[in-house]
Amino acid sequence: MTNLLLKNIEKRFGKTEVIRGVDLVIEHGEFVVFVGPSGCGKSTLLRMISGLEDISGGELYIGNRLMNEIQAAKRGVAMVFQSYALYPHLSVRDNMGFGLKVRKVSEEERIRRVAAAAATLKLEALLDRFPRELSGGQRQRVAIGRAIVGNPAVFLFDEPLSNLDAELRVHMRSEIAALHKRLSTTMIYVTHDQIEAMTLADKIVVLRDGRIEQVGSPRELYENPANQFVAQFIGSPR
Ligand code: ADP
Ligand code: MG
């Protein structure tokens, strides 16, 4: 069943065309990875899906609903950023519960959902700490926890691991894979790390200069890259 549908999506900043007609179908529960060189439009595309950036042209559907004019908070989408974007003055518990509070979810329900997310992410012992008292990996876990508590239909990750050291990156990568397995929610994940893309993705979308160069499973792209650009990006020998 289709979860997201992008039809000829475009983005312009003034006269600069940044996304130039993107068509894409994403099925329920799929793990989709966007790759492509810096500046090709990966973050812009995610921000348009999340509602943080408006759409200049085309149509975006999530679960059969046209989203173009729907505000971010009502899209059922949660985004996790590279920079974590935690509130420094709030505890882990309050960071995770903040969005629910804004949406007027009852305190009882909030406590329940934060506890469940904390258990999923092994954050129980850290709930009373503040962001400055956490390691990079723990902060990123809190950022993921904050996304989970809203029960989003779609998770968006923008290079969530690129501030972590290599060892922790590998660890968090498998945690994200486990999370996807557990929640079976649609996830869209931006990375410039080939190995991350190849190991996490059901489907990889290769972007170049605001357009899709190729879409396919890691294996399809590896075995049958459409061109030299894709081959190089995927690390295919061809
Ligand atoms: P990526 O995430 O793939 O590195 P981005 O989506 O951040 O790329 O950026 C795509 C292009 O859009 C870049 O050329 C960038 O300079 C431009 N861009 C992004 N945000 C803005 C903005 N708010 N105003 C003008 N140009 C922008
Ligand atoms: Mg980016």
Among 10, 15, 17, 18, which is best to mutate for testing ligand 1, by the most ligand atoms less than 8 A from CB?
18
pLDDT tops 80 at residue 1: no
Kindly provide the ipTM of the predicted complex, given to two decimals.
0.98
Asked if residues 188 and 182 have their Cβ atoms less than 8 Å apart, the reply is: no
Q: For 33-58, what is the mean pLDDT?
A: 97
Measured by CA distance, the residue closest to atom 6 of ligand 1 is: 41
pTM of the predicted structure, to 2 decimals? 0.94
Is 13 near ligand 1, meaning CB less than 6 Å away? yes
Output 137 or 40, whichever has higher pLDDT. 40
Cβ atoms < 10 Å from Cβ of 116: 14
Beta bridge partners of 25: 5
Measured by CA distance, the residue closest to atom 1 of ligand 1 is: 39
The environment of the single-atom ion ligand 2, i.e. residues with CB closer than 5 A, is 43
Is 75 near ligand 1, meaning CB less than 6 Å away? no
Asked if residues 36 and 214 have their Cβ atoms less than 8 Å apart, the reply is: no
pLDDT tens sequence across 120-179? 888 999 999 999 999 988 999 999 999 999 999 999 999 999 888 888 889 889 999 999
Strands (E), 28-134: 31-35, 57-62, 65-66, 77-81
Asked if residues 126 and 48 have their Cβ atoms less than 8 Å apart, the reply is: no
Kind of pairing between the strands at 186-190 and 2-13: unpaired
Mark 139-156 as b/e (b = at least 16 C-beta within 10 Å): bbbbbbbbbbbbebbbbb
Least confident of 25-34, 64-73, 76-85, 196-205: 76-85
Decide: helix, strand or coil at residue 133: helix
pLDDT tops 80 at residue 38: yes
Q: Of 199, 172, 203, which Cα lies nearest the Cα of 187?
A: 203
Is 41 near ligand 1, meaning CB less than 6 Å away? yes
The predicted structure's pLDDT at residue 237 = 80
Asked if residues 58 and 100 have their Cβ atoms less than 8 Å apart, the reply is: no
The predicted structure's pLDDT at residue 197 = 95
Cβ atoms < 10 Å from Cβ of 74: 11
What's the CA-to-centroid distance between 41 and ligand 1, angstroms?
A: 6
Strands (E), the chain: 2-13, 16-27, 31-35, 57-62, 65-66, 77-81, 154-158, 186-190, 203-208, 211-216
Tokens 């069943």 found at: 1
Exposed / middle / buried, residue 125 (Cβ in 10 Å: 0-12, 13-18, 19+): exposed
Please identify, by atom number, the ligand 1 atom nearest to the C-alpha of residue 34.
Answer: 3
Q: What mean pLDDT is reported for the chain?
A: 94
The predicted structure's pLDDT at residue 36 = 95
